[in-house]
Amino acid sequence: MPRTKLVVALLAVPRVMGLDFSIPAHILGRQEGYQVLVCGKETTGSPMGITPTHSLADAPEADIVIVPGYDEPEVPLPEEYLDVIRFGAERGARVVAICTGAFALAESGVLDGREATTHWRYLAALREQYPAVRVLENQLFVEDGKFLTSAGAGAGIDACLHLIRTDFGVAAAHEAGKEVVASPARGGAQPQYVDVLTAARTDLSATRSWVMEHIGDPITVQRMAERSNLPRRTFIRHFELETGMSPMRWVVHHRILSARRLLETSDWPVERIAAATGFGTAANFRIIFRREVGTTPTGYRRMHSVL
């Protein structure tokens, strides 16, 4: 059955940053499952000349509300924009912030007691200005319930691809990632940056590529360390620095992504998918898949199959 389009209210806030605005407008606007409304007042004060297509009155009924980054985030947005955020949160919409858009979510009060992030340059200011928010350092994006906050422009791409992956599956996110020449599988915990002045410059991308090529085989931390020509403990330290995850957590993450894609695009039985993605038995696969995705493999296939 054809899906009903999800309505996305992209807020054209005052002082909006053109790049942070254009990323969701482009990526989500090209995804056929979304209807993107640019909501705001007649002028944004942006040198990019962004003009709303809809008024703020059209935003409260959206399934997803997105606040792009804006200059001078320490200056609160007008109350009517904050009301849109509050009302969206109250009715269960997902509320997304790109870069300094997190300040608007924090100012509205919807992030009180929740985890969030923003561009590394503004982390201290966000933490100081809104002590009720649990600000996480050096992460691409943070999802806490219905709230998704992300770092600067590149992480905004990751957040948009995460939305597509959640709503329409791994295959759709992969195609969207190809369109913007970006990886559709970077997890939110991956660092925004690596301090190359204090960290050894060890590139483990070849090891990660090897894992992806052998995702269905037995994989251990020791085998990965040996492939990297590093002692086990050194390997773990550098792997976590590069990816924001422990080695085996990263492996499970990508096994789940591979399984999701097979569920979406093939008619393979669950037993075959379990074996092909390294989960072994179907029973083990079902347990881990439900824990990670929140539904059974069969339920996921029913929602996202493209066959």
Same-domain status, 230 and 164: no
Q: Is the pTM of this model over 0.85?
A: no
pLDDT score at 245:
87
What angle (nearest 5°) sits at the alpha carbon of residue 210, between those of residues 206 and 212? Answer: 115
- Measured distance CA(47)–CA(71) in Å, rounded: 11
- Which of 120, 148, 179 is the endpoint of a domain? 179
From the list 109, 123, 113, the residue with the least C-alpha distance to 152 is 123
- Which CATH number fits the domain that encloses residue 245? 1.10.10.60
Same-domain status, 210 and 173: no
The number of folded domains in the chain is 2
- Measured distance CA(223)–CA(226) in Å, rounded: 5
Same-domain status, 142 and 240: no
Q: Is 42 inside any structural domain? A: yes
Same-domain status, 143 and 206: no
Q: Is 275 inside any structural domain? A: yes
pLDDT exceeds 90 at position 196: no
- Which of 121, 148, 179 is the endpoint of a domain? 179
Q: Is 189 inside any structural domain? A: no
pLDDT exceeds 50 at position 284: yes
Same-domain status, 149 and 229: no
pLDDT score at 305:
85
Residues 6+ apart with CB under 8 A from 79: none
Same-domain status, 149 and 208: no
Q: Is 109 inside any structural domain? A: yes
Give me the domain span that covers residue 247. 197-307
- Which of 127, 153, 179 is the endpoint of a domain? 179
For residue 58 the two structure tokens come to: 């059209």
Same-domain status, 201 and 123: no
Same-domain status, 168 and 206: no
pLDDT exceeds 70 at position 69: yes
Going by DSSP bridges, is the β-strand pair 6-11/34-39 parallel, antiparallel, or unpaired? parallel
Same-domain status, 210 and 153: no
pLDDT score at 203:
78
